[in-house]
Structure formats: C-alpha cells, structure tokens
C-alpha cells in the first residue's frame, strides 16, 4: 500500500469511526427517550397500586386471576395460633378464581382500594372501564408465611390492565346477567 493510500484509508477509518460514534450516540439518546416514554405510558395504565392480603395456602394460586364476588363478610377465621388480632387489619371477602371457578375467602388489608361491591351484579365492578363487568385482579407469585403459621400466607395482588381484562371476560360469561 502506498503512503497516499494508507493516508486515505486512515481518513476514511477515522471518519467512519467518528460517524459510527455520532450515530451510536444519537441512537442511544432516541432509545432512552423512547424507553422513558414507554415506561410513562405503562405507568399510566396501572389502575391501582399492588395491595396486601392474607390467604390460606391451600387456596393460593400464584399468578392466577380472580374477581371479588362479595362485599366485606363479617367473619374472622380460626387458624389455631393465628389470633383475631392478626386479622384486625384485614377485611374478609369472597373471591372467585377465574382459572377454576372456585370461591374462597381472601383477607384484604383495610387500606387496599379494591373498588365497590355491587349487590345487584354480585361483584366488585370495574370502575375504570365498564361498570357492568367485574374488575379482574391478578395474584402475585411471591408469598411469605404469616408468622410461624404454615396455613396462612401474606400475598400481594393488583388489577390487570383493561385490555387483558376485556379479553379474559369475553370468554367467561359467569358474570353476565341471565335473561
């Protein structure tokens, strides 16, 4: 290679490296802006914060979806070493698991905003979308034992997004009024 060819190659290499770095910086900036926009859009889709509850371990289905099919039930369970004081910060509700139709008690923390129970419809309605359909929630995968008791566990749950909720309820008609 002649000196002139080497010099031209070096200039092209430097220009292409500089160009690559500039394009890379621009692409990174665009990705960062796009990612933050996506995160903001996803934050806007969150209906409520995740809330805490207690459930009997034999009634727990990780990641399963459910609806509330009762208002507050005036009942405090008896789980041996778990005394009434453990449940003083919780309200008892009945939930319906959508994966199997089973109805079980769920002890929801007093400060959880789960919506309003509609006696005429028989479920807690979806306040954000269609007032005539139930709000669908999803149980978290994580859980921890309640003290030393192996029967009762602490769990978290949160509402599913509207699109998933509509899709789930479209294929399940237990909640629709019969004519």
Q: What pTM does this model have?
A: 0.68
pLDDT tens track, the chain, 179 positions: 555 554 444 444 444 444 444 444 443 333 333 333 333 333 443 445 799 999 999 999 999 999 999 999 987 666 555 555 556 778 899 999 999 999 999 999 888 889 999 999 999 888 777 788 899 999 999 999 887 778 889 999 999 998 899 898 988 888 887 65
Residues for the chain: how many in total?
A: 179
d(CA 153, CA 142): 10
Task: State how far the Cα of 91 lies from the Cα of 18, in Å rounded to an integer.
Answer: 63
């Amino acid at each position: 290679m002649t000196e002139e060819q080497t010099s031209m190659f070096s200039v092209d290499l430097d220009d292409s490296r500089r160009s690559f770095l500039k394009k890379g910086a621009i692409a990174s900036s665009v990705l960062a802006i796009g990612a933050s926009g996506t995160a903001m859009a996803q934050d806007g889709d969150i209906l409520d914060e995740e809330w805490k509850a207690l459930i009997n371990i034999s009634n727990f289905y990780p990641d399963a979806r459910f609806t509330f099919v009762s208002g507050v039930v005036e009942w405090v369970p008896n789980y041996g070493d778990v005394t009434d004081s453990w449940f003083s910060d919780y309200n008892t509700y009945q939930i319906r698991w959508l994966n199997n139709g089973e109805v079980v008690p769920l002890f929801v923390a007093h400060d959880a905003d789960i919506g309003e129970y509609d006696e005429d419809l028989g479920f807690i309605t979806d306040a954000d979308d269609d007032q005539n359909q139930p709000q669908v929630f999803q149980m978290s995968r994580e859980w921890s034992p309640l003290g030393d008791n192996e029967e009762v566990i602490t769990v978290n749950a949160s509402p599913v997004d509207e699109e998933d909720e509509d899709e789930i309820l479209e294929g399940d008609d237990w909640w629709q009024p019969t004519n």
